């Protein structure tokens, strides 16, 4: 379970709730790690609760600056910080680390992509040396201009193939890709490029990019998506990543973790999934 799911909760209490829900692992969000914790402390806190680090999220996310997240504007400075984040997550044994390109903002698309791809190529080398993978995430087409240069799987596949490093793969997140034409077919085409999968849902009364629902309570065909991931050969963790800015989720700490885990398990049973929900 992604720790953003319980972002309004103190980090240690969130880990307790995730473990008590019977979840096997946690996608650690670097921005939520308490100040002063190093990799050794973080690893101890996870292992003492029986949690494995799964699909983790760095504090900066991308080599190009983001509109909605704080951080330096200089791509070189951002890259140096991302290197340290990758090494931190590699040291604790994370399965993968989600990355974005970042948006073009004042740059041309060609210039922005050249900067982003060069940085991602170098960062993939760092991830390989650290024993982990990067997972490039496309952002929903209604929101991508604040976050990314790409909004679909064809372009994510293009970038991953252009960089051509096994340490760089793709994140499948239904929140961003659910209404893609031939979504399940593109998942199958992505095949071994898939490095991470997020699980969540979308309500019929969807309000915006920070309105994600408990799996099984919305409109997504999660069974079809998860079956496509399995058919593509994906054997990694499935991280539940949900949050809502109206306060409807974060206040129900342990109940939320248990409901989210139960929703994921139901989807898993329906499609006979082999891999573990984390």
Angle between helices 253-271 and 222-231 (to 10 degrees): 60
Q: For residue 265, what pLDDT is reported?
A: 62
Q: Please give the tally of structural domains in the chain.
A: 1
Q: Quick one: which H or E segment has residue 269?
A: helix 253-271
Q: What domain range includes position 260?
A: 3-271
Residue 19 included in any domain? yes
pTM: 0.91
Residue 52's DSSP bridge partners are: 25
Residue 113 included in any domain? yes
| Inter-residue contact 37 to 58 (CB < 8 Å) | no
Residue 250 included in any domain? yes
Residue 278 included in any domain? no
Residue 64 included in any domain? yes
Q: For residue 38, what pLDDT is reported?
A: 97
Q: For residue 59, what pLDDT is reported?
A: 95
Q: For residue 257, what pLDDT is reported?
A: 64
C-alpha angle 126-138-276 in degrees, rounded to nearest 5: 75
Q: For residue 212, what pLDDT is reported?
A: 83
Residue 47 included in any domain? yes
Residue 60 included in any domain? yes
| Inter-residue contact 215 to 201 (CB < 8 Å) | yes
CATH number for the domain that contains residue 62: 3.20.20.150
Cα–Cα distance, 241 to 219 (Å, whole number): 16
Cα–Cα separations (whole angstroms), residue 46 to 28, 193, 259: 10, 28, 21
Residue 213 burial by Cβ neighbours in a 10 Å radius (0-12, 13-18, 19+): buried
Q: For residue 245, what pLDDT is reported?
A: 60
Q: For residue 249, what pLDDT is reported?
A: 54
C-alpha angle 222-27-64 in degrees, rounded to nearest 5: 95
What size, in residues, is the chain?
Answer: 278
| Inter-residue contact 2 to 239 (CB < 8 Å) | yes
Q: For residue 251, what pLDDT is reported?
A: 46
Residue 276 included in any domain? no
Cα–Cα distance, 12 to 32 (Å, whole number): 10
Residues of the chain with pLDDT below 70 are: 244-278
Which pairing describes strands 194-199 and 96-99: parallel, antiparallel, or unpaired?
unpaired
Q: For residue 277, what pLDDT is reported?
A: 47
């Amino acid at each position: 379970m992604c720790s953003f799911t319980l972002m309004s909760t103190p980090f240690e209490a969130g880990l307790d709730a995730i473990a008590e829900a019977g979840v096997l692992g946690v996608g650690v969000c670097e921005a939520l790690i308490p100040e002063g914790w190093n990799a050794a402390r973080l690893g101890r806190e996870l292992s003492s609760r029986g949690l494995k680090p799964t699909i983790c999220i760095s504090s900066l996310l991308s080599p190009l600056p983001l509109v909605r997240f704080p951080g330096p504007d200089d791509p070189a400075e951002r890259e140096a910080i991302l290197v340290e984040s990758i090494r931190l997550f590699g040291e604790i044994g994370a399965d993968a680390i989600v990355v974005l390109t970042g948006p073009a903002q004042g740059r041309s698309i060609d210039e922005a992509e050249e900067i982003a791809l060069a940085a991602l190529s170098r960062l993939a080398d760092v991830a390989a040396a650290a024993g982990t993978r990067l997972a490039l995430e496309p952002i929903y087409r209604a929101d991508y201009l604040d976050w990314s240069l790409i909004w679909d799987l064809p372009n994510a596949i293009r970038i991953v193939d252009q960089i051509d490093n096994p340490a760089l793969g793709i994140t499948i997140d239904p929140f961003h890709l659910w209404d893609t034409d031939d979504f399940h077919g593109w998942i199958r085409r992505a095949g071994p490029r898939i490095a991470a999968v997020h699980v969540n849902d979308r309500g019929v009364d969807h309000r915006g990019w920070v309105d994600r629902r408990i799996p099984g309570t919305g409109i997504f065909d999660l069974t079809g998506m998860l079956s496509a991931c399995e058919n593509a050969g994906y054997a990694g963790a499935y991280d539940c990543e949900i949050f809502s800015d109206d306060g409807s989720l974060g206040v129900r700490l342990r109940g939320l973790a248990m409901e989210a885990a139960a929703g994921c398990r139901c989807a898993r049973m329906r499609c006979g999934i082999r891999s573990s929900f984390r």
